[in-house]
Amino acid sequence: MKKFKWPLQRLLEIKKKKEKFEQAQLFSITEQLSQKRGEIMMQKMILKNMLIELKNEPVKTRMEKQQLFMRTSETNDKLIAKLVVEAAELEKIRTEKMAEVIKLKKFNEDLEKLRQEAKTEFITEQEKIEQKAADDATVFGFARKMVSL
């Protein structure tokens, strides 16, 4: 029996490699996004903790610390805003990558289906050829016996 060779096999392999590469990029972007979100939460917790500390301070020392808090909170707010913008950009990139990975996955699944159909058709054709060869051998064998009698 002939070995099955599918002409689009190389394309399928390339697309699978590309899908894996895109998935790795998606994973990297997701990690970066998670890290940015963690930084945002950390900065917000710092501000919250500073407010709690201010609340527990005696009135005499509170005024000085409130001024310091106001200056640092402005810096923290700018940092948080910057991190939020970066996180939004990463989320947009992540969404685009996810769509690309899904598109590649669908394409690969379709190629796999085509390959399976081609293989099934190939096997069916090979079985027909083998059956015809077996039938011919049987007919010739029977004809030889008839001639020799």
Tens-of-pLDDT digits for all 149 residues of the chain? 678 888 999 999 999 999 999 999 999 999 999 999 999 999 999 888 888 888 888 877 788 878 888 888 888 899 999 999 999 999 999 999 999 999 999 999 999 999 999 999 999 999 999 999 999 999 888 888 888 87
Which pLDDT value is given to residue 1?
A: 61
| 3 state SS of 1 | coil
- Residue 63, pLDDT score: 80
The C-alpha angle with vertex 77 and arms to 76 and 80, in degrees rounded to 5, equals 85
- The pLDDT, as a whole number, for residue 50 is 85
Instruction: Count the alpha carbons within 13 Å of 142 in the hemisphere toward its beta carbon.
Output: 6
- Cα–Cα dist 37/108, whole Å: 33
